[in-house]
Homo-oligomer: A and B are copies of this chain.
Amino acid sequence: MRVLVVDDERGLVRALHRGLTAEGFAVDVAYDGERGLELASEDAYDAIVLDVMLPRRNGYDVVTELRARDVWTPVLMLSAKDGEYDVADGLDVGADDYLTKPFAFVVLVSRLRALLRRQGQVRPPVLTVGELVLDPATRRVTHGGEPVTLTTRELALLEYLMHHADRVVGKVELRDHVWDGTGEDVNVVEVYIGYLRRKLGRGVVETVRGAGYRVAG
């Protein structure tokens, strides 16, 4: 789990870095809002701990900008006790939770874990054509309830066909989309259609002579 800590109090940051590392997190640090935004924009963190009072850019700004950039990493805001900024503002702006300083370290960790747990995983939709079901996320394929194991290439091919179900898809188009280069030789496609048929049975992929292939319900 990668965590980004954005705060300008060196002592606190050092403590958090040590503590969170000991808890098994990989910790990155930024000391001002600008730098924090920069790092966070790479979208490589599982959570962000973000102070409100920061040099160069305040916490609200950072969150707002992050969301505008379509980065949805969960954010745990740290607000100062004096209440100059209102807590509700942070939540309005798109933070997922907040904590007022001072706080106990265990509380921070507990909140952080809650945040990570809560984050819903966005999944691409499941493709269904007749008896065939293909889940891109889990890379699982079932045919009439029976699980089928496919190799990467086979899966890519079937996914493309199912994505364009009911349509006749040309070999060249398949060659272009499922395979890298735009090639002339489309025999690979035929070979792999053969593999699919061997694993799924004859009736699934239909040949349209002179045009291409089709999967239909």
Q: What residues of chain A have their CB less than 8 Å away from a CB belonging to chain B?
A: 1-2, 24-26, 28, 42, 44, 46, 81, 83, 87-88, 91, 97-98, 100, 102-104, 106-107, 110-111, 113-114, 116-118, 121, 123, 125, 136-139, 151-152, 155-156, 159-160, 163-164, 166-168, 176-180, 182, 208-211, 214, 216
Q: A24-B155, A106-B91, A139-B208 are in contact. Are A163 and B125 (CB under 8 A)?
A: no
Residue in B116, B137, B208 whose beta carbon sits within 8 Å of that of A113 in the complex: B137
Copies in the complex: 2
CB distance from A129 to the nearest CB of B (A): 13
Residue of chain B at shortest CB distance from A181: B26
Whether B138 and A166, one on each chain, are in contact in the complex, defined by CB atoms closer than 8 angstroms, is yes
Question: A42 — which chain B residues lie within 8 A by C-beta?
Answer: 182
Question: A177 — which chain B residues lie within 8 A by C-beta?
Answer: 1-2, 26, 44, 46
Question: A107 — which chain B residues lie within 8 A by C-beta?
Answer: 87-88, 91, 98, 114, 118
